[in-house]
Amino acid sequence: MTKIKGNIVKWGILGVGDVCEVKSAPAMQLIDNSELVAVMRRNGKKAQNYAERHQVSKWYDKTDDLINDPEVNAIYIATPPDAHLELTIKAAKAGKPVYVEKPMARSYAECQQMIEACKEADVPLYVAYYRRRLPNFLKLKELIESGIIGEIQLVKIELYKSNASDIAAVESGTMSANWRVDPEVAGGGYFYDLAAHQLDYLDFIFGPIRSAMGHAGNQGKLYKAADIITSSFTFESGIQGVGSWCFTVDKKAELDELSIIGTEGKLVIPFFGPAEIILEKATLKEHKKYRFDLPAHIQQPLIQTIVDDILGIGVCPSMGQSAARTNWVMEEMTKNYYTNKK
């Protein structure tokens, strides 16, 4: 596969918005053999402001100008999902490796088109499922593989969040600015935004999910996307799972837990809360808790693997093929709602 010439990855970012302030882009300036050389945003003043604040030498307000910049040899697409397909195709045709935010696209079909475009152009396609490289999630994988809780029987996901901020946004008339709850832009609301991380990580530790089904609905009636989803799923390995996501609960009912249940105990980890793991076993007098320090720029460990992969000195664990599987699973879990809406 063609990657880049030279020994430095020189990044250009399309859609340099909030995710680029701390989570991702600053890491590109800290990693060895990596430089951030250009940023783009349709609002030129905002692109210029970002470039000046982050010491980036060039900024653009047109996608083609950044993609065709001869100094840029890798593209990071940090836009909302509705632009991922179009921009991936453009970057691939320019012969530049692509790193795209999650979820990979609005639909599994769009993911497949992105994969095909990069295959035809002979360039790699990476996706920002960065939990595959964070220390707490790597430790959970290690604990499972060590057999500390025996044979895995069940996986359980629970994510319940308050809709207080959404109600306030509706009352103030600003809800229309929240692209995450517009299926035309994001694919499927907070579920696509948050559950994508959980389902991708389960793919990482247990392998592909072979079947999934679910029921999705809209209880709050605040936006078009589904705000409650319940599901069951089975991995190719035979491990079974259940999940429930609700984005309309009271603050006191909020919950964020992934439970891995085995024949000799249970492991629990929050996905979006404290960086810790809880081990529960009948042979322990009390729960054992593992705590972790996370990097200041949360995507840095994954971006390091991308740079290494592009340069041929390492392997990235989050590629287009695995990310597309997550889109397929989410579609299977929510198709009763979105199919009926078409």
What single string gives the DSSP state of each residue in 160-212?
A: EEE-HHHHHHHHHT-GGG-GGG-HHHHSSHHIIIIIHHHHHHHHHHH--EEEE
pLDDT at residue 216, rounded to an integer:
98
- Parallel, antiparallel or unpaired: strands 152-162 and 240-249: parallel
> Which run of H or E residues covers position 121?
helix 108-121
Helices H, strands E: what count in the chain? 12, 14
For residues 63 and 80, give the distance between their C-alpha atoms in angstroms, rounded to a whole number: 14
DSSP E strand boundaries for 69-151: 74-77, 98-100, 125-127
Mean pLDDT of 234-263: 98
pLDDT above 70 (res 5): no
| Dihedral angle computed from the Cα positions of residues 59, 62, 66 and 67, in that order, rounded to the nearest 10 degrees | 170
From 42, 154, 37, select the one nearest 96 (Cα to Cα).
37
Euclidean distance between CA atoms 201 and 110, whole angstroms? 21
Buried b / exposed e across 173-207, counting CB within 10 Å, b at 16+?
A: eebeebebbbbebbbbbbbbbbbbbbbbbbbbbbe
Average pLDDT over every residue of 2-10: 77
What was the pLDDT predicted at 339? 86
**Chain-centre distance for alpha carbon 97:** 18
pLDDT in tens, 301-319: 999 999 999 999 999 999 9
What integer is the mean pLDDT of 158-179?
Answer: 95
According to CATH, the superfamily of the domain at 9-129+299-311 is NAD(P)-binding Rossmann-like Domain (3.40.50.720)
CATH code of the domain made up of 135-294+326-341: 3.30.360.10
Task: Give CA–CA dist 162/308, Å, rounded.
Answer: 40
d(C-alpha 83, C-alpha 88), whole Å: 8
| Residues 217, 234, 107, 77, CA torsion sign | positive
Tens of pLDDT, residue by residue over 269-295, are 999 999 999 999 999 999 999 999 999
Give the model's pLDDT for residue 340: 66
Tell me what pLDDT residue 276 has.
98
pLDDT, mean over the chain: 96
Domain boundaries, the chain: 9-129+299-311, 135-294+326-341
**Separation CA 50–CA 94 (nearest Å):** 25
Give Cα separations from 20 to 25, 132, 310, 312 (angstroms). Answer: 5, 19, 21, 25
DSSP secondary structure string for all residues of 133-152: GSHHHHHHHHHHHHTTT-SE
First-to-final CA distance of the chain: 39
Say if CB 112 and CB 324 are below 8 A apart: yes
Position of tokens 């600053």?
Answer: 26
pLDDT at 342 over 60: no
Q: Is-contact 80 59, C-beta < 8 A?
A: no
